Structure formats: structure tokens, C-alpha cells
Amino acid sequence: MSDSAQPATPVTFPPAFVWGAATSAYQIEGAVREDGRTPSIWDTFSHTPGKTADGDHGDIAVDHYHRYPEDVALMAGLGLNAYRFSVSWSRVQPTGRGPAVQVGLDFYRRLVDELLARGIRPALTLYHWDLPQELEDAGGWPERDTAQRFAEYAQIVGEALGDRVEQWITLNEPWCSAFLGYGSGVHAPGRTDPAAALRAAHHLNLGHGLATSALRSVMPARNQVAISLNSSVVRPLSPSPADLAAVRRIDDLANGVFHGPVLHGAYPATLLEATSTVTDWSYVLDGDLRTIQQPLDALGLNYYTPTLVSAADGAPDGPRADGHGASSFSPWPGAEDVAFHQTAGERTEMGWTVDPSGLHELIMRYAREAPGLPLYITENGAAYEDKVDADGRVHDPERIAYLRAHLTAVRRAITDGADVRGYYLWSLMDNFEWAYGYAKRFGMVHVDFATLERTPKSSARWYGEVARTGALPEVPVA
Ligand code: FCB
């Protein structure tokens, strides 16, 4: 794929389309011990030897906690009209329960006011994986009480910021929280217990439902509540019945386990059956499914690459396809009979295949799965080995090509009838990429991790032009 391969006709987007960038608290804020913040599971995990590349952690990250005015100015200068960020739970409610710390909330109030003053619409994610450590010590997401605690926290943040933030996202990618956090253990808290992973999935769903009603009880009716799912595009290696059964198994564990209860009020029967040797699902209590199935105002979809599977047929297991790190424990409970395969094609620095057709497929699937619900791409982007050139600039033509191809796929989905309202590029700037530490750069703004200097890459100028004009530039933007 090359940036010189121009589409025949200009690719333009609807006038009200939302053009944003996304980040999350632990990946950018730093200031982990300031103003009353207590450790989250990611502080503990990243400070545990062997858990992250080079022992990297988010103690300083990119120091956004202190540099947010500069970061907001950068976005405004580029011409973005939206910004998706997350709130650090242990900054506003250090023990995960009880009263809020005002100074913690004040940070987010200042950030939001700065955004609004510059015409950038904030989209607030309540939970991007950083559970207060105290709640993990009490059992974490496998315990029902964590869902109640999450609703209480949601209400606190909703009361504090509901007057100025209209776009709300309860959970980011609950699949990663449940199955990487408690299954394969490559994410915090690093547990490797398949039954606990499924319990966590249910209590994340319950937390989403409870938090959604808590938000609605304290916020103006105009505000919109959504959830961001990293639903997988699961494809079979061959059209054989055995490979199609493998697709069903992984589709249930990646997608149906969340969108089933959230959108349709039920777990897929095939999921319950396939996991019956792992768990009896007795923690799904009467009324839970009704609580989880709250009416939503939008659905967030995060997309990076598709997943290719087949029946294992006794063959040695391939890559686990969790994308976020290697583990000998599977993030797919009850799917020992499924093998994962590398998809063909060009790859990013993460080893993820570049396949924009998957984004189109994902959007069209959810246009069918959730008819009438506006869709947002709440994350999409790529890591490349970006370097500052002798001229002081960072040229990243691969990222521009990636963005152009994926935005063209979004446009095609809109033409095909999907109600896609916006796109948030992952990420605004290079940051702490979880188990990969600072080794993977997803930003459209380069960060020198020694000096913390920010330098917009060519892709930032390119994406800024897209945001300002609502069209993909026909000639490369220098
Ligand atoms: C997503 C996460 C985000 C970042 C990107 C690359 O799964 O939500 O924080 O790690 O992947």
C-alpha cells in the first residue's frame, strides 16, 4: 500500500463527522503519586519484574498530567474537533469506594474546560483498565461488588463533569480487562484463571449496565452513553464445518460475551455450552441481564486487525492471537480445540496485519447487530518505528497509508448504509503501550521519552487536514 495510490474520486465525509484522537489515563498521565492518587492494578503490574518490556511503567509516562495545556493546544493547532481520554479511577476515588478527591476531579475539569475553550469536544471513558489496587485486593472484576463500586464511581464522575462532557463511554475493551487480565495474564492484574476470566466478563457487563443507569440518574438527558468494544473480525482458515465451528467459538468469546447481554439481553447459548466445563455461570443472577441491557446512545468500535482461526486438529497451537503479548496461558477459556493463524499481508510494528477490509466488515456487522444505534470508531491506528530525522521532522508515510486505507473503509461502510458518526485515531501521541512499554509508537505526535518533547509526525499534519476539510487529501501533505 502506498500513499501515492490515490483513489479515483475524492473521499469525503458527512459535514458533522467527528474527527478525534484517543488516549488513556495510565498510558499518558504520569504523576502517579500526586494529589492523592493511589496505585491501580497497572502500577502494581508494571512494577512487578518481568511483566513489561524493559520493566517500563507509567510513573511519568508522557507527563500529560502537567503538560495537558500543551497537548490540547497541539490538537487545536492540528484542527481536531474531538478528543477521547479516560479518567484514572484511583485519582478520583483512591480506595475505589467512598467519597471523591476533589483535586483529582479538578484535573479533569480543567482538561475539559481547556478542550471546550478550543472547540474540541471531549469524550470521556470511565474505565480504561486501571482498577484501583484496593479493589483488586478485594477480589477484582471476578467479584460482583466491583460492578457496584464501578457504578458508584461512575455516578461521582457523572455528577462532577456531566454538565460539560456530553460523550460518555463506560468501559474500554472489556475483553482485554477480562481475558488478558485474568486469563492469559499478559495484562494487569496478571491472573491466569479461565473461570475467573469469565466471571470478570460478567461483572464487567454488569458494571457497564449499573454505571449506565447511574450516569443517567445524575446527568442531563442530552448526554450520550456508549461502550467501546474491541469486537474481533473472526475469519475461518477454510470453509470447512470444523473451521466454521472454530469461528463460532471465538466469535462468542470475543464478541457475543459482551454484545450478547449489552445489546440483546442474553449470553449466546453456544457460549454457555462451550464454556460449561470451565464455569457454571451461576453468578449470573436474576435480573442481571435486564440491568446490563440498558438502552445506549451509541456504540464504540475499536479495530486493529482481523483474527484467523481453524479447528486445531491436534496440530501444535499457533500464536494465541491476543495481540497484546505472549503467554503460555490462553485468553480463550474452553477453546483449546481452536488454532490461531497469522493473516497474510503487510504488518505493523505490533505484528498486526494491515487489513482495512476488516474494519468495513466490523462496521457492517454492528450496523446489523445494533440497527439504529450510531457507531463511532473509538480506536484505530498503527505502531511504526518512527524516528526523528536530521531535519528535526518525523516522516511516517506508512501511518498515513494505514489511515487513508482505513478511513476509506469507514467511508465505504457509510455509503453501504452504516451510521458511522466519528473516528478517533489511536493515538494522539506516543505513550506507554501496556506490556510493550515504550517500545511501540502509536502516536501521530512523536514523544522523545527522555525530554518529553512533542513533535507532530507527517501523519498529524495529514490527519489534521482530514479533520479540517472532512476529506482525504488527494496529494501527500508534507
Ligand atoms: C487497544 C487499547 C489501547 C492501545 C491500543 C493499541 O487495545 O485500548 O489502550 O493499547 O490497543
Give me the percent of the chain exceeding a pLDDT of 70.
95
Whether residue 203 is predicted with pLDDT greater than 90 in this model: the reply is yes
Catalytic annotation, pick one of 379, 385, 453, 465 = 379
Which band of pLDDT confidence, cut at 50, 70 and 90, is reported for residue 85? very high
- Whole-number Cα distances in Å, 272 to 101, 180, 252, 286: 41, 20, 9, 16
Nearest CA to ligand 1 atom 10: 433
What is the C-alpha separation between 400 and 148, in angstroms, rounded? 42
What is the C-alpha separation between 448 and 63, in angstroms, rounded? 12
Whether residue 327 is predicted with pLDDT greater than 90 in this model: the reply is no
Alpha carbon of 85 to ligand 1 centroid (Å): 12
Catalytic annotation, pick one of 173, 273, 369, 433 = 173
Alpha carbon of 208 to ligand 1 centroid (Å): 19
C-alpha cell at 31: 504523576
- Whole-number Cα distances in Å, 126 to 153, 157, 272, 379: 9, 8, 29, 15
Cβ count near 207 (within 10 Å) = 28
Taking only the tens place, the pLDDT of each residue in 350-363 is 999 999 999 999 99
What is the C-alpha separation between 261 and 227, in angstroms, rounded? 13
**For range 376-393, the mean pLDDT:** 97
Residue 433 Cα: closest atom of ligand 1 = 10
Three-state DSSP class for residue 51: coil
For a mutational test of ligand 1's pocket, the pick from 379, 402, 441, i.e. the residue with the most ligand atoms closer than 8 A to its C-beta, is: 379
Residue 27 Cα: closest atom of ligand 1 = 9
Give me the percent of the chain exceeding a pLDDT of 90.
94
The phi and psi torsions of 235 (rounded to 5 degrees) equal -120, 145
Helix residue ranges per DSSP H, 8-163 = 25-28, 41-46, 64-78, 89-92, 102-117, 133-137, 144-161
**Identity of the amino acid at 107:** F
Which band of pLDDT confidence, cut at 50, 70 and 90, is reported for residue 314? low
With beta carbons less than 8 A apart as the criterion, state whether 374 and 419 touch.
Answer: yes
**For range 434-459, the mean pLDDT:** 98
**Identity of the amino acid at 469:** T
Residue 172 Cα: closest atom of ligand 1 = 8
C-alpha cell at 232: 474481533
Q: Which residue has the cell 501533505?
A: 477
Whether residue 38 is predicted with pLDDT greater than 70 in this model: the reply is yes
Residues contacting ligand 1 via CB (< 6 Å): 24, 27, 172-173, 176, 230, 302, 379, 426, 433-434, 442
What is the C-alpha separation between 455 and 62, in angstroms, rounded? 13
Contacts of 349 (CB under 8 A, 6+ apart): 382, 383, 384, 385, 440, 441
**Identity of the amino acid at 380:** N
For a mutational test of ligand 1's pocket, the pick from 426, 431, 442, i.e. the residue with the most ligand atoms closer than 8 A to its C-beta, is: 426
Contacts of 124 (CB under 8 A, 6+ apart): 84, 85, 86, 87, 108, 112, 157, 161, 165, 167, 168, 169
What is the C-alpha separation between 168 and 345, in angstroms, rounded? 36
What is the C-alpha separation between 300 and 256, in angstroms, rounded? 15
Q: What does pTM read for this prediction?
A: 0.96
**For range 196-214, the mean pLDDT:** 99
Alpha carbon of 237 to ligand 1 centroid (Å): 26
Whether residue 169 is predicted with pLDDT greater than 90 in this model: the reply is yes
Domain 18-469 sits in CATH 3.40.50.720: no
**For range 91-113, the mean pLDDT:** 97
What is the C-alpha separation between 407 and 84, in angstroms, rounded? 18
Residue whose C-alpha is closest to residue 331's, from 153, 126, 135, 176: 176
Residue 383 Cα: closest atom of ligand 1 = 6
Long-range contacts of 260-264 (CB under 8 A, 24+ apart): 261/205, 261/288, 261/289, 261/292, 261/293, 262/205, 262/208, 262/209, 262/227, 262/292, 262/293, 262/296, 263/293, 263/296, 263/299, 263/369, 263/370, 263/373, 264/293
* 173 part of the active site: yes
Three-state DSSP class for residue 200: helix
Nearest CA to ligand 1 atom 4: 433
Taking only the tens place, the pLDDT of each residue in 125-154 is 999 999 999 999 999 999 999 999 999 999
Domain ranges of the chain: 18-469
Three-state DSSP class for residue 373: coil
**Identity of the amino acid at 363:** I
**Identity of the amino acid at 50:** G
Which band of pLDDT confidence, cut at 50, 70 and 90, is reported for residue 296? very high
Alpha carbon of 100 to ligand 1 centroid (Å): 27
